[in-house]
């Protein structure tokens, strides 16, 4: 069993609180480590040290900071398999999913190599008589990232990359369920040339989260997790005068029009609905076929595909489709929601609750479940299940299907499968959701765009990665300048401030 501490001033240190949390192996249900939970004093000390280190780092020119990102990317590529296995060991993801987790984070680091371009300001010559105006982007100072269990590599990289490339120091508080990947990334950043203290990884629970929100030195907080916690963090951070960028839950719909390629739609639903055991904020959890004929044909194609899904530990090889969910509590919650769907009248076509894997009976495995004829008043529709459960909600027309998406409280992602460009264009223009896919199941934008939801899926004005991240992690200063010239007696030129 390993003891997991914190990353402070460029090295691993043990916790001093005497408190710890179990780090589980989701495939076996066994404790595989203990992670230290920091105190308020430990957090505040890490922040003070980060503030000292940030002064020189913020004064380092953006091109040199970008070179650290370049080296960091090389090291991530070098250690891709090691990082993926760390993700799989603590989260339970298959190795391909683990590599995908790292890869999507790496792509943001690659964009951060362009920090000099991202940090450019604006200039206007002769905005008034002899007056020039220009703006500059400057780092905030010390910022914080609070990241979830479901992407132990990707989301820490989404937070740390832009924040550090913009010249800030960062306090990273990863999920206590999957802490090791963030610590490994911190080691790689040191190897890449990041000065000690600029990144501090502090493990902890709500005590540390509240300490981050209340610390006066921390200027901004980025969070990804559930909607109730996102609202809590956003409110407390804003009340303390901090910038906050908080991303919460989701209920992502895919519309399937009568003219859609149903084989492609069914394949997309299986991958987007059940991949990573459904523990993704961009998972498609609701399929909305338009018309009874479309729905019946879709179900005929979905059922055999879902029945063929392979569930197992990451050690079983590359052909496993998904692994366990993160905890026993998550497993019981998913089973409970499936039960409520049955009680409330949904048609359970495939029931994954009784799934058992020989040799892994104590692991947190659950088979895939598929519901038909789900209605919006049912708990399985209203709740973010965060498990391998797909609900089919039938609608008679495109307008009814669009209204279903627009009336939902969440607005992270949505997609439509259709062969009609006019319908797709109308959907993309009208739907009140932050990320839209057209014949594309999980519309996570490429890293040089930006990621963010609407409604109760996101709190704050700026999104993750891309240009928005650099706006979030910097403040704009605008200078209005006028230079005077003087004339000596006899007309001789006396001075010019630009000389």
User: Does pLDDT of 222 surpass 60?
Assistant: yes
Q: State the Cα–Cα distance between residues 121 and 125, nearest whole angstrom.
A: 14
Better pLDDT: 129 or 225: 225
pLDDT value of residue 494: 45
Answer whether residue 493 shows pLDDT above 70.
no
Compute the mean pLDDT over every residue in the chain, rounded to the nearest whole number. Answer: 95
Q: According to the model, what pLDDT value does residue 486 have?
A: 52
**Among 308, 252, 316, CA closest to 282:** 252
Give the residue from 147, 73, 170 showing the smallest Cα distance to 112: 73
Torsion sign across C-alpha atoms 187, 191, 196, 199: negative
- Return the CATH class of domain 252-438: alpha beta
Tell me, what DSSP letter sits at residue 444?
Answer: P
Token digits of residue 432? 């009140």
Model confidence band, residue 194 (pLDDT cutoffs 50, 70, 90): very high
Q: What is the tens place of the pLDDT at every residue in 290-339?
A: 999 999 999 999 999 999 999 999 998 888 999 999 999 999 999 999 99
Structure confidence at residue 129 as a pLDDT band (50, 70, 90): confident
> Is residue 497 pLDDT above 70, yes or no?
no
Indicate if the pLDDT at residue 491 is higher than 80.
no
How many H helices and E strands in the chain? 16, 25
Q: Which CATH class is domain 2-248+457-479?
A: alpha beta
Residues 6+ apart with CB under 8 A from 85: 95, 98, 314
Judged against a pLDDT cut of 70, whether residue 495 lies above it is answered with no
- H or E stretch covering 244: strand 243-247
What is the percent of the chain where pLDDT is above 70? 97
Comparison of pLDDT for 1 and 385, the residue scoring more:
385
Q: Please check the confidence at residue 496 and state whether its pLDDT lies above 90.
A: no
pLDDT beyond 60 at 390: yes
The catalytically annotated residue of 112, 178, 246, 281 is 281
- When mean pLDDT is compared across 117-126, 228-237, 241-250, 419-428, the lowest value belongs to 117-126
Sorted by sequence, the CB contacts under 8 Å of residue 313 that are 6+ apart come out as 27, 28, 92, 320, 323, 324, 357, 360, 363
Torsion sign over Cα 402, 385, 450, 266: negative
What tokens appear for 458 in the block? 């996101």
Can you tell me which residue has the tokens 């760390």?
86
User: Contact 193/186 with Cβ under 8 angstroms?
Assistant: no
What secondary structure does DSSP assign to 320-334, as a single string?
--B---S-HHHHHHH
Cα-flanking dihedrals φ and ψ of residue 497, to 5°? Answer: -60, -20
Provide the 8-state DSSP code for 445: P
Q: Residue 70: how many CB atoms within 10 A of its CB? A: 15
Order of strands across the sheet with 169-173? 11-13, 6-8, 199-201, 169-173, 142-146, 218-224, 243-247, 458-459
Q: Could you tell me the two tokens for 414? A: 């949505």
Distance of alpha carbon 176 from alpha carbon 31, whole angstroms? 13
Do β-strands 369-372 and 389-392 pair in parallel, antiparallel, or remain unpaired?
parallel
What is the predicted pLDDT for the residue at 412?
95
Mean pLDDT within 241-264: 97
The SS3 call for residue 53 is: helix
The helix/strand/coil state of 419 is coil
A 10 A CB-CB count for 214 gives 16
pLDDT digits (tens, 9 = 90+) for 347-378: 999 999 999 999 999 999 999 999 999 999 99
CB atoms within 10 A of CB 297: 18
Whether 498 shows a pLDDT value over 60: the answer reads no
- Terminal-to-terminal C-alpha distance of the chain: 67
Told to judge if 281 belongs to the known catalytic residues of this protein, a careful annotator would answer yes
Cα–Cα distance between 465 and 459 in angstroms, integer?
A: 15
DSSP string, 151-194: -TTHHHHHHHHHHHHTT-EEEEE--TTS-HHHHHHHHHHHHHTP
Q: What is the pLDDT of residues 45-82, one digit of tens each?
A: 999 999 999 999 999 999 999 999 999 999 999 999 99
Average pLDDT over residues 465-476: 95
The ranges assigned to domains in the chain are: 2-248+457-479, 252-438
Beta bridge partners of 136: 477
Say yes or no to pLDDT of 484 above 90: no
pLDDT tens per residue, range 76-92? 999 999 999 999 999 99
Q: In the beta sheet, which residues pair with residue 35?
A: 4, 21
Apex 70 CA angle, 66 and 74, nearest 5: 165
pLDDT tens for 432-459 read 999 999 999 988 998 889 999 999 999 9
pLDDT at 487: 45
Backbone dihedral angles phi then psi of residue 6, each to the nearest 5 degrees: -125, 165
pLDDT reported for residue 425 = 97
């Amino acid at each position: 069993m390993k003891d997991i501490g914190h990353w402070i001033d460029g090295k691993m240190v043990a916790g001093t609180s005497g408190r710890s949390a179990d780090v589980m192996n989701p495939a076996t249900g066994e404790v595989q480590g203990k992670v230290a939970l920091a105190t308020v004093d430990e957090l505040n000390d890490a922040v003070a040290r980060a503030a000292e280190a940030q002064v020189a780092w913020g004064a380092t020119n953006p091109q040199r900071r970008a070179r650290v990102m370049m080296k960091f990317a090389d090291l991530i590529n070098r250690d891709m398999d090691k990082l993926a296995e760390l993700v799989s060991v603590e989260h339970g993801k298959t190795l391909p999913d683990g590599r995908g987790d790292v890869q999507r984070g790496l792509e943001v680091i690659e964009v951060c190599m362009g920090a000099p371009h991202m940090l450019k300001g604006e200039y206007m010559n002769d905005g008034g008589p002899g007056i020039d105006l220009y703006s500059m982007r400057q780092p905030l100072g010390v910022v914080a990232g609070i990241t979830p269990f479901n992407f132990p590599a990707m989301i820490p990289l989404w937070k740390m990359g832009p924040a550090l490339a913009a010249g800030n120091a960062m306090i990273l508080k990863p999920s206590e369920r999957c802490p090791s990947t963030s610590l490994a990334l911190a080691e790689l950043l040191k190897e890449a040339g990041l000065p000690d203290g600029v990144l501090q990884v502090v493990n902890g629970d709500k005590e540390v989260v509240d300490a981050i929100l209340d610390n006066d030195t921390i200027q901004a907080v980025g969070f990804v997790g559930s909607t109730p916690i996102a609202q809590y963090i956003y409110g407390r951070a804003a009340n303390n005068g901090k910038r906050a960028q908080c991303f919460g839950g989701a209920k992502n719909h895919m519309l399937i029009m009568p003219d859609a390629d149903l084989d492609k739609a069914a394949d997309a639903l299986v991958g987007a609905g059940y991949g990573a055991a459904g523990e993704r904020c961009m998972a498609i959890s609701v399929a909305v076929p338009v018309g009874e004929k479309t729905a019946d044909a879709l179900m005929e194609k979905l059922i055999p595909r879902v029945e063929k899904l392979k569930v197992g530990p990451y050690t079983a090889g590359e052909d496993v489709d998904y692994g366990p969910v993160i905890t026993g509590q998550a497993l019981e919650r998913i089973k409970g929601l499936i039960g409520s769907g049955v009680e409330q009248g949904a048609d359970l076509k495939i029931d994954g609750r009784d799934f058992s894997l020989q040799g892994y009976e104590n692991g947190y495995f659950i088979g895939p479940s598929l519901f038909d004829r789900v209605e919006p008043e049912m708990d399985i529709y209203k709740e973010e299940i965060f498990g391998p459960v797909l609900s089919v909600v039938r609608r008679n027309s495109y307008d009814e299907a669009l209204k279903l998406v627009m009336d939902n409280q969440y607005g992270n992602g949505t997609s439509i499968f259709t062969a009609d460009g006019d319908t797709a264009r109308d959907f993309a223009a009208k739907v009140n959701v932050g990320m839209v896919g057209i014949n594309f199941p999980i519309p996570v934008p490429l890293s040089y765009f930006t990621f963010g939801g609407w409604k109760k899926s996101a709190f704050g004005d700026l999104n993750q990665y891309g240009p928005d991240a650099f706006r979030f992690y910097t403040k704009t200063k605008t200078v209005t300048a006028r230079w005077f010239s003087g004339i000596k007696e006899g007309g001789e030129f006396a001075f010019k401030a630009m000389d």
